[in-house]
């Protein structure tokens, strides 16, 4: 029950802090811009003719992935900067002192905060994602192949990053933990793109960069699997060519494997466990 | 039974020893004062006692349970030296949260009364973020008191308070004592400690420099009197209270027994014997002098 108390408290904190307003503004801005973009895409003539339905599906797939990347970035930034201050900020300011002097275990507090943050990140991804799908559907008539799987994977990506943020939050200062988590997220994404280029060129050692980084921090692997769920596979087969074989950052040729999903779950539990261990031993 | 029993507490931060073999106990219903200069290790001792800091060595029993068991803190109220509460919650919400975490069943009215007791009755619905330091410390006091604790730890409870607030804290501690709640009070305001504490532990450089009841620490008390129409019977009554010495018009009686009624009883008896009493001045070594003495001899 105490876990739920802390989950609810974390959600209340998120809703009352300025971070929620910043998230909302960024999201509305991104959704508005994408609505404009998609509308222009349908009505504009290229080389004297409008896009064929096949071309439109391919471009809509890519653009949807691009916008969803923007959303996932907002979700990642938001939760990482929420996860950072939530523990280290409370330890630094002294809020943790009176809380931890209550008859509760530190692991309970950590689990509650984690649950609250996952609910927050997941809720954001679901809400903003569905809004984006509707925008794309209304403007271009494109609906993602597996929207629920894709959104679930994006939510999981957010959960992975905020778990890492929580671990850092037990070790370093509030701001640093947010910055490091987001920095690693970006670095893994770039490594994923580099790996994709390697695969496109048939260079195994360059391709390995992406694979290794996706194992170390599973955010990029989940992101690629989510893109795969959003994009139109028939259009890709028709038009894709080498670009689909990993070379283009906003198209994916890799669906989620059961082994990778299992590893990601294990990774998340491992990092959360490590955070609990560090937090339990930490002097307040 | 003791509210807290700590034995051989030790804590090092890197190369610096913060606490070095501190043992003490607080009996139920007792008010213990923790005194000492800055950096003596008082706050670290308190944090180890509450399980917030892991001691390198030593043991703590809190309300009959080892401190490693979170249930030991079920009936503990704590006002930290660094008092900060969730700025995005209202005063009432902070109290509600702490009642829930303590697992106590405290009715709504009692929570409101607690906020009223610390002078925040009018601010229950205001966000803590807009509170001054003094108001946050008052809120901290309410948090420490709200879940019907059996043991209250107040670490510098008046550091941000005005003189009225300090008097309020003194009254609150005295009323806790009346209700049989044990209190550990860490304060730089020695007068405050002297007025409310039954026993005092003085820490210096991480060790217990002295401890005991106020009488034990301060020695015997005395009373200086200016009297007229002193009869032999009255002199006998004075001698009965303790050794008498004269310095001009002033008679000093070194009281042999401790007791709060000793001086009023003596004065009543003298008046009954027809003595005219012009001045009564109870005196003893102040705790401040004694503290400086103990810390000075240690250096």
Residue B58: pLDDT band with limits 50, 70, 90: very high
Helix axes A174-201, A147-171, angle to 10 degrees: 130
Which of A2, A13, A281 lies closest to B54 in CB terms? A281
Q: What is the pLDDT of residues B1-44, one digit of tens each?
A: 789 999 999 999 988 999 999 999 999 989 999 998 888 899 99
CB A191 within 8 A of CB A220: yes
Better-scored residue on pLDDT, A193 or A265: A265
Q: Which residue has the tokens 């770039």?
A: A190
A284 CB near a chain B CB, below 8 Å? Answer: yes
Q: How far is CA B168 from the centre of its chain?
A: 13
Residue B216: pLDDT band with limits 50, 70, 90: confident
Tell me how many domains chain B contains. 2
A9 CB near a chain B CB, below 8 Å? Answer: yes
Same domain assignment for residues B177 and B227: no
For A224-234, give one letter per residue: b (16+ CB within 10 A) or e. Answer: bbbbbbbbbbe
Please, which residues 141-170 of chain A have a Cβ atom closer than 8 Å to chain B?
none
- Whether the predicted pLDDT of A275 surpasses 70: yes
CATH of the domain at B262: 3.30.70.100
- Whether the predicted pLDDT of B220 surpasses 70: no
Which of B52, B71, B100 lies closest to A284 in CB terms? B52
* B293 three-state secondary structure: helix
Residue B81 lies inside a defined structural domain of this protein: yes
- Is the CB of A284 less than 8 angstroms away from the CB of B103? no
Could you write out the DSSP letters of every residue in B199-258?
Answer: EEEEEETTEEEEEEEHHHHH---EEEEEEES--HHHHHHHHHHS-EEEETTEEEEE-SS-
Same domain assignment for residues B37 and B112: yes
Which of B85, B97, B102 lies closest to A103 in CB terms? B102
Interval A62-71 mean pLDDT? 84
Structure confidence at residue B238 (pLDDT): 87
Same domain assignment for residues B40 and B83: yes
For A23-61, give one letter per residue: b (16+ CB within 10 A) or e. Answer: beebbeebbeebbeebeebeeeeeeeeebeeeebbbbbb
Question: Which residues make beta-bridge pairs with B6?
Answer: B24, B60
Strand order in the sheet with B250-254: B244-247, B250-254, B222-228, B276-283
Structure confidence at residue A246 (pLDDT): 53
Share of chain B above pLDDT 90, in %: 58
Structure confidence at residue A86 (pLDDT): 81
Residue B46 lies inside a defined structural domain of this protein: yes
Structure confidence at residue B116 (pLDDT): 93
Rg (CA), chain A: 20
- Is the CB of A98 less than 8 angstroms away from the CB of B74? no
- Whether the predicted pLDDT of A263 surpasses 90: yes
Tell me how many domains chain A contains. 1
Same domain assignment for residues B40 and B172: yes
Q: Which two tokens stand for residue B3?
A: 């509210």
Residue B296 lies inside a defined structural domain of this protein: no
Q: Phi then psi for A10, rounded to 5 degrees?
A: -65, -40
Residue B284: pLDDT band with limits 50, 70, 90: low
Residue B294 lies inside a defined structural domain of this protein: no
Same domain assignment for residues B212 and B224: no
Same domain assignment for residues B184 and B93: yes
d(C-alpha A141, C-alpha A143), whole Å: 7
* Angle in degrees, CA A27, A63, A160, rounded to 5: 55
- The distance of B292 to chain A (nearest Cα, Å) reads 31
Residue B299 lies inside a defined structural domain of this protein: no
Chain B residues near residue A281 by CB distance under 8 angstroms: 54
Chain A residues near residue B76 by CB distance under 8 angstroms: 101
* Angle in degrees, CA A23, A26, A30, rounded to 5: 135
Residue B288 lies inside a defined structural domain of this protein: no
Question: Which residues make beta-bridge pairs with B183?
Answer: B31, B152
Domain extent for B110:
2-216
Q: What is the pLDDT of residues A198-244, one digit of tens each?
A: 877 888 888 888 888 888 888 888 888 888 888 877 666 665 555 55
Among residues B198, B175, B23, the alpha carbon closest in space to that of B185 is found at B198
Structure confidence at residue A141 (pLDDT): 82
* A44 three-state secondary structure: coil
Same domain assignment for residues B143 and B41: yes
Same domain assignment for residues B58 and B206: yes
Q: Phi then psi for A79, rounded to 5 degrees?
A: -75, -35
CATH of the domain at B195: 3.40.50.300
Q: What is the pLDDT of residues B238-248, one digit of tens each?
A: 888 888 888 87
H helix count then E strand count, chain B: 10, 14
Better-scored residue on pLDDT, A253 or A17: A17
Structure confidence at residue B126 (pLDDT): 94
d(C-alpha B288, C-alpha B299), whole Å: 17
Question: Which residues make beta-bridge pairs with B77?
Answer: B152
Which of B53, B78, B101 lies closest to A5 in CB terms? B101
Share of chain A above pLDDT 70, in %: 92
Among residues B226, B221, B260, the alpha carbon closest in space to that of B242 is found at B221
For the whole model, what pTM was predicted? 0.84
Same domain assignment for residues B72 and B184: yes
Residue B293 lies inside a defined structural domain of this protein: no
SS3 of chain B: helix, strand, coil, percent, to 5: 35, 30, 30
- Is the CB of A101 less than 8 angstroms away from the CB of B52? yes
For residue A223, CA distances in Å to A155, A159, A188, B285 come to: 10, 12, 11, 74
Residue B291 lies inside a defined structural domain of this protein: no
Same domain assignment for residues B32 and B62: yes
Q: Which two tokens stand for residue B144?
A: 């420490």
CB A163 within 8 A of CB A110: no
d(C-alpha B96, C-alpha B92), whole Å: 6
Domain extent for A165:
2-281
Among residues B143, B139, B100, the alpha carbon closest in space to that of B121 is found at B139
Q: Which two tokens stand for residue B132?
A: 């001054």
- Say which residues have a Cβ less than 8 Å from residue A11's Cβ, sequence separation at least 6: A116, A119, A120
Strand pairing class (B151-155; B182-186): parallel
Structure confidence at residue A23 (pLDDT): 82
Q: Phi then psi for B174, rounded to 5 degrees?
A: -65, -35
Chain A / chain B CB contacts < 8 angstroms: 70
Considering B216, B248, B265, which residue would you say is the last residue of a domain? B216
Among residues B140, B143, B124, the alpha carbon closest in space to that of B83 is found at B140
Q: Which two tokens stand for residue A157?
A: 């990506």
Same domain assignment for residues B150 and B31: yes
d(C-alpha A92, C-alpha A96), whole Å: 8
Structure confidence at residue B96 (pLDDT): 95
Same domain assignment for residues B106 and B249: no
Residue A284: pLDDT band with limits 50, 70, 90: confident
Please, which residues 103-122 of chain A have a Cβ atom closer than 8 Å to chain B?
103-105
Q: SS in 3 state form for B99-154? A: HHHHCCCCCHHHHHHHHHHCCCCCCCCCEHHHCCHHHHHHHHHHHHHHCCCCEEEE
CB A155 within 8 A of CB A122: yes
Strand pairing class (B16-27; B151-155): unpaired
- Is the CB of B71 less than 8 angstroms away from the CB of A105? no
- Say which residues have a Cβ less than 8 Å from residue B182's Cβ, sequence separation at least 6: B3, B4, B26, B27, B28, B29, B30, B31, B32, B150, B151, B152
Interval A123-136 mean pLDDT? 90
Structure ipTM? 0.83
């Amino acid at each position: 029950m105490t876990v739920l108390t802390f989950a609810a408290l974390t959600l209340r904190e998120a809703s009352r802090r300025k971070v929620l307003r910043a998230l909302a503004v960024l999201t509305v801005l991104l959704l508005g811009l994408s609505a404009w973009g998609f509308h222009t895409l349908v009505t504009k003539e290229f080389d004297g003719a409008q896009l064929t339905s096949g071309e439109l599906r391919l471009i809509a797939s890519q653009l949807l992935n691009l916008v969803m990347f923007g959303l996932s970035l907002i979700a990642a930034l938001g939760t990482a900067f929420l996860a950072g201050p939530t523990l280290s900020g409370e330890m630094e300011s002294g809020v943790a002192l009176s809380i931890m002097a209550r008859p509760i275990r530190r692991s309970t507090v950590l689990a509650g905060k984690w649950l609250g943050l996952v609910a927050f990140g997941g809720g954001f991804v679901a809400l903003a994602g569905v809004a984006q799908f509707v925008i794309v559907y209304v403007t271009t008539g494109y609906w993602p192949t597996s929207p629920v799987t894709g959104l679930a994977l994006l939510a999981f990506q957010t959960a992975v990053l905020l778990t890492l943020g929580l671990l850092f939050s037990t070790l370093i200062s509030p701001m640093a933990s947010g910055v490091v988590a987001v920095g690693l997220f970006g670095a893994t994404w770039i490594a994923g793109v580099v790996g994709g280029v390697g695969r496109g060129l048939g260079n195994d050692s360059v391709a390995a960069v992406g694979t290794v980084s996706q194992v170390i921090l599973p955010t990029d692997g989940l992101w690629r699997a989510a893109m795969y769920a959003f994009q139109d596979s028939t259009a890709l087969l028709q038009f894709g060519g080498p670009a689909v074989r990993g070379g283009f950052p906003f198209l994916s040729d890799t669906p989620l494997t059961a082994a990778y999903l299992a590893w990601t779950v294990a990774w998340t539990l491992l990092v959360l466990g490590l955070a609990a261990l560090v937090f339990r031993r930490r002097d307040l | 039974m003791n509210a807290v029993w700590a034995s051989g507490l030790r804590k090092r931060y890197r190369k610096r020893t913060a606490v070095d073999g501190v043992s003490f106990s607080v009996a139920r219903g007792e008010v213990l004062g923790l005194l000492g200069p800055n950096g003596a290790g008082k706050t670290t001792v308190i944090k180890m006692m509450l399980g917030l800091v892991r001691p390198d060595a030593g043991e703590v029993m809190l309300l009959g349970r080892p401190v490693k068991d979170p249930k030991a803190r079920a009936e503990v109220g704590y006002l930290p030296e660094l008092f900060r509460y969730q700025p995005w919650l209202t005063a009432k919400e902070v109290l509600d949260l702490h009642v829930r975490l303590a697992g106590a069943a405290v009715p709504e009215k009692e929570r409101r009364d607690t906020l009223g007791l610390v002078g925040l009755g009018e601010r229950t619905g205001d966000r803590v973020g807009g509170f001054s330091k003094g108001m946050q410390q008052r809120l901290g006091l309410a948090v420490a008191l709200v879940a019907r604790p059996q043991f209250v730890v107040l670490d510098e409870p008046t550091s941000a308070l005005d003189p009225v607030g300090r008097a309020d804290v003194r009254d609150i501690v005295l009323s806790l004592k009346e209700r049989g709640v044990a209190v550990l009070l860490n304060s730089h305001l020695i007068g405050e400690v002297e007025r409310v504490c039954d026993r005092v532990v003085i820490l210096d450089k991480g060790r217990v420099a002295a401890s005991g009841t106020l009488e034990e620490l301060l020695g015997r008390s005395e009373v200086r009197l200016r009297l007229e129409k002193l009869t032999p019977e009255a002199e006998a009554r004075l001698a009965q209270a303790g050794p008498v010495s004269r310095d001009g018009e002033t008679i000093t009686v070194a009281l042999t027994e401790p007791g709060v009624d000793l001086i009023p009883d003596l004065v009543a008896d003298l008046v009954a014997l027809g003595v005219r009493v012009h001045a009564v001045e109870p005196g003893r070594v102040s705790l401040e002098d004694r503290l400086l003495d103990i810390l000075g001899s240690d250096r």
